[in-house]
Amino acid sequence: MRTGKYRLAMAAAMLIVAFNAWLAIRALHAFFDVQNWRAHTFEVLVHTKTVEADVSKSTAAVRAYLISGDPLYKSRYNDATADIDRELDAIKTLTVDNNTQQERLAYTRQRILVRMSALQTGIAMRDATHEMLGPVSLMAVLTDSPDHGPTVAYCLQQMENEENRLLNDRTAASLRARSVVVWTFVAASLLAILLLGATAELGIRAVRDRQALINSEAEIRVLNEELRITNTSLEERVEQRTKELANTNQELEAFSYSVSHDLRAPLRTIDGFSLALSEDYADKLDETGRDYITRVRGGVQRMGLLIDSLLQLSRVTRMDLQSERFDISQVASLVFGELEALDKDRSVELVAQPGVLVVGDPRLIRIALENLMGNAWKFTSKTPNALIQFGSMPGTGEYEGTTVYFVRDNGAGFDMQYVDRLFTAFQRLHGDRDFKGSGIGLATVSRIIRRHHGSIWAEGQIGQGATFYFTLGGPGADVNARA
C-alpha cells in the first residue's frame, strides 16, 4: 500500500517537474524573443545614425568642393550619397513590420532627396562658373531645409524617437521575462530539493530504480552523441550546399556581365560600321548591297533584343521576391499607357477591370504584364478595332477557390495544337516577317508566375485572338478583393 502511494506521489511530482520545465522553456523563449527585438531596435538606430552621418558627410563634401573646386570632394559626395541609399534600404527592410516607421521612412527619403537636389545644384553651379559661390548662394545650397520644410535631422529624430519608445517597452518586457525565468528556476530548484528528500526516504528500494535511471541516462548520452554527430554532418552538408549555391549565383552574375558587356561591344561595332557604310558609301553600293547592309543592321538589332530578353529572364529568376498588396489594375493601365506612347499612330481600346488587388512582387508582376500586354498590342497590329482586355474571374475546376487573372485580345490568335510551345524560350508560332519578337517574353512570364507559385495557360484561335490566364499562389497572394 505504501509503495503504491509513494509511486503515485512520485508520478505526481514528475508531472509537476515536467510542467515546471515547460514553463521554464516558455519563459526562456519569451526572454530570448524580447532580447532579439531589442537587438533589432538597436540595429535600426545604428542605421538611422549612419544616415544622419552620411548626410552630414555629403554636406561637408559639397561645402569643401564649392570652396576649393577639388574633384576629390565631389567623389566623396557621391560615395556618401550611395551609402545613404544603402542605409535607407536597410532601414526599410528592418521596419517592414511597422507601417508607421515605413511612412516616416518614405517621407525622410523625400526630404533627403530635396537636400541632395540642393547640394547637386550647388555642384552644378560650381562646375559651370569654375569659381567659388558667393555667400548668399553658398547658404542657399548648404541650408538644412532648402524648401523650408522639415529637416532631414528632424525626420530621422522622429524615427529614432519611435525606436527608443519601442526599446523602452522591450526593455521592460525583457526585465519581466527575466524575472519569470528566475522564479521559474527557483521553483524548479525547490522542487528538486523536495524530490531528493523523497528519494532519500525510499532507501534501499530506490537503489535499484536509481541504477535503472543511470542506465537510462547512459542511453540518453549515447543518443545525444549520435544526434550531435548527425547535426554536425547535417550542418556541414548545408554549408557545402550554401557554398555551391553562392558559386552558382556568382557564375550567373558573371554570365550576365559577359552578356551585357562583352557581347554588346562587338554588336555595337557591327551596327556602327554598317550605319557608316549605309550613310557614307550609299552612292557606291547597288540596291543589293544596300539591302545586305539593311539585313545586317536588322540582324544586329534582333541580336540586341535577344540579349536584352535573356538578361531579363535571368534577372527575374534571381531577383529577390518582395511581396506586397497592390492594385494590379493600375499597373495594367500604366503599361497600356506606355504602349500607346511608343506607338501613337495606332488606336487600340483597353478595357481594364478596376480595383483588382493582388499580393506579389510589383516589379515582377509589372514585367509579366509588360510582356503579356506587349504581345496583345503586337498581335492586334493588323486588326481593325483592336481591343485588349484585362480582368479577373473566379476559378473553376482545378482552380476552384482561387482568382484567375487574364489578358485577352482580338488579334492574330494561334493554333491550339501548338499551345505547349508558347511558354518555351525561342519557340515562336508566328514568323518574324509577320510579327517581330525574341521568343523569350512568354518564357519570362511563365518564370515569374512560377516564382509566385501560380499557374499560367492560354487559349486562342487563329484570326480570333488569344487569352492568357494566370493565378498567383503562395500565402495571402489571392486576396479575392476588389475596390
Does the pLDDT at position 9 exceed 60?
Answer: yes
- Give the pLDDT score at 311: 67
**For residue 457, what are the β-bridge partners?**
469
Its domain, for residue 454, covers 322-470
What does the block give as the cell for 279?
A: 550613310
What span, in angstroms and rounded, lies between the C-alpha atoms of 66 and 143?
14
pLDDT-wise least confident of 16-30, 56-70, 315-329, 442-456? 16-30
Task: Identify whether 227 is part of a domain.
Answer: no
Q: Are 51 and 111 in contact (CB under 8 A)?
A: no
Q: Tens digits of per-residue pLDDT, 448-458?
A: 888 888 998 98
What span, in angstroms and rounded, lies between the C-alpha atoms of 373 and 389?
9
Which of the listed residues 168, 202, 236 is the one where a domain comes to its end?
202
pLDDT: which is higher, 87 or 257: 87
Q: Tens digits of per-residue pLDDT, 313-371?
A: 566 666 677 889 999 999 999 999 988 888 888 888 888 999 999 999 888 888 889 88
What span, in angstroms and rounded, lies between the C-alpha atoms of 444 and 451?
11
Q: Are 111 and 151 in contact (CB under 8 A)?
A: yes
**For residue 357, what are the β-bridge partners?**
327
Residue 222 burial (CB < 10 Å; 0-12/13-18/19+)?
exposed
Q: Residue length, the chain?
A: 483
pLDDT-wise least confident of 240-244, 311-315, 391-395? 311-315
Kindly give the residue spans of alpha helices, DSSP state H, lying in 95-203: 99-129, 135-142, 152-202
Identity of the highest mean pLDDT range in 143-152, 320-329, 436-445: 320-329
For residue 393, the domain's CATH number is 3.30.565.10
- Give the pLDDT score at 140: 62
pLDDT: which is higher, 424 or 66: 66
pLDDT: which is higher, 103 or 4: 103
Task: Identify whether 71 is part of a domain.
Answer: yes
Residues 423-441, mean pLDDT to the nearest whole number: 53
Which of the listed residues 202, 225, 252 is the one where a domain comes to its end?
202
Task: Identify whether 224 is part of a domain.
Answer: no
Does the pLDDT at position 385 exceed 80?
Answer: yes
pLDDT-wise least confident of 87-96, 130-139, 156-165? 130-139
Does the pLDDT at position 480 exceed 60?
Answer: no
What span, in angstroms and rounded, lies between the C-alpha atoms of 127 and 112?
22
- Give the pLDDT score at 482: 41
- Give the pLDDT score at 318: 63
Task: Identify whether 250 is part of a domain.
Answer: no
* 186 & 335 share domain: no
Task: Identify whether 236 is part of a domain.
Answer: no
Q: Tens digits of per-residue pLDDT, 278-291?
A: 777 777 778 887 77
Which of the listed residues 202, 226, 261 is the one where a domain comes to its end?
202
Task: Identify whether 259 is part of a domain.
Answer: no
- Give the pLDDT score at 424: 65
pLDDT: which is higher, 451 or 296: 451
- Average pLDDT in the chain: 78
pTM over 0.95, yes/no: no
Does the pLDDT at position 267 exceed 90?
Answer: no
Place of cell 556581365: 257
* 54 & 187 share domain: yes
Does the pLDDT at position 427 exceed 60?
Answer: no
Residue 420 Ramachandran class (φ > 0 left, ψ -120 to 50 alpha, else beta): alpha
- Give the pLDDT score at 483: 38
Residue 202 burial (CB < 10 Å; 0-12/13-18/19+)?
middle
Q: How many domains does the chain have?
A: 2
Q: Tens digits of per-residue pLDDT, 150-205?
A: 888 888 888 888 888 888 887 888 788 778 777 876 776 777 687 667 666 665 77
- Give the pLDDT score at 92: 86
Q: Are 439 and 426 in contact (CB under 8 A)?
A: yes
- Give the pLDDT score at 317: 61
- Give the pLDDT score at 437: 46
Say what angle helices 264-280 and 287-318 make with each other, to 10 degrees.
160
Q: Which helix (H) or strand (E) holds 219?
A: helix 204-257
What does the block give as the cell for 299?
A: 540582324
Task: Identify whether 225 is part of a domain.
Answer: no
Task: Identify whether 345 is part of a domain.
Answer: yes
